[in-house]
Structure 1
Amino acid sequence: MQHGKALLATALLLSVNTITAQATVTAVDNGLGIYESGTNVTWTSDANLLGTLETNQGYTSVINAIIQANNRVVQTINGTHDLVDADFNVNGTADWWGAQAFVGYLNSIVYGNSDQWVLPTNTVTLYGQAYNATPSGISSSILVANRSDSGYWSSTVSNYSFYPNSAWAFTGWFNSQSYATMDHQYLVWAISPGVVAAPVPVPAAIWLFSSVLLGIGLIGKRRAA
């Protein structure tokens, strides 16, 4: 029934902007993210990261960790939603509350050295930019894993009174945006503002130099004693 509503809502599609020719796409954070200069955001390089984690770490383990990381609730403009297993599915999809909980989980573990992960808003048409062919080629690039033509949630809640408890999503099949009830199951693709960078390792020479200084200091203290 909800799927039927989502399809019906495609009558109100928003146009999707393409990335400008000047935009570039580069892998960052040791391949965990992809940075898009046109919108100045970093995407997770896995377009179905939740599904991948479920496969690699076990569905129950991952979902329990997500629920616990959010203290079992998600705050929304409509109040508090109590998280339950039914907010998630085994293929990496989640309802809107589950999607919000997943980005909260990514922040709790500082995934990819960022605690600023969010769902994109529908106003900047980020999902469309990630799908459209570009000179740098996110849509055809090997930098992106598990990209799907199914729907992806945005963080933007619908303000249509005749369609309450709904939010906007991007659908790859139509390369457009539409809204669906929040209990619909869509994929989750998170972004973080700016460039997400891996920690810069301290060169071995600096560690060695620091060790030598520490040793000299200890010797000096012993002599003084």
Structure 2
Amino acid sequence: MEEFASLTEVLLGESNYFVEVLALHITPLNLVLVNLYRPPACENEYFRPIITKLDAVLENLSSPMPELVMVVDFNLPHVSWSDMRTVHGGTEQDKFQAELLFKFAEKWTNNSSQTVEPTINPDITFKDLNFSSNMVDWSNIKHELDEFDWQTEMKNVPVDEKYSTIIATTLKIVTKYTPLRKACYKAPIPRDRKAIMKKRSKLHSRIRHCNNDHGKRSMQDKVERLEEQL
């Protein structure tokens, strides 16, 4: 991974507080990875300049043209991505920006696919891992990521599967050396136990407002008897 980092060029990193884009050229793989986010109800004035800049960056790439992988969240639910043509409803701005994306895709890709989630083990995700734990073995994680032959393993992977392959490989390695998060499950409290806890709470409140020592001792005795039932 360090080898990749030193040979990875940031082609574009842009944010206008609405649309964000990051384009990286991973030289050993001759691969351009683009991550782009467009929020819902985005204005044309914020979206179009980003696409224009990204287009210009790709135009300036030298031959042979790298493979392009785009990991995006367009928030355009009205678009039928399967045929890259159909827009079902939506605002005029949605339609305009969808058309802009269609033209961009036609220009730079000859193979498109929509992947909702990476094809990794559905039973464990990065969110299930506890990276704050002292038990994380960062040394072994770094060692395995460094030793993995990314260039050879990724050489024959189809372009539309490269991203999910990188994620799946990284997750497989990290999972071996990172503990899972503890489940935040709380068993339901039985009704009779709740009733006792409610009585105890009321007694504590009365004790705090009681100025009579004998009364306080009497109520404290009741609290202790209730706690024995819990």
Normalised by the shorter chain, which TM-score bucket? under 0.3
TM-score (norm 2): 0.23
TM-score (norm 1): 0.23
- Which one has the bigger helix percentage? 2
- Which one has the bigger strand percentage? 1
Larger Rg: 2
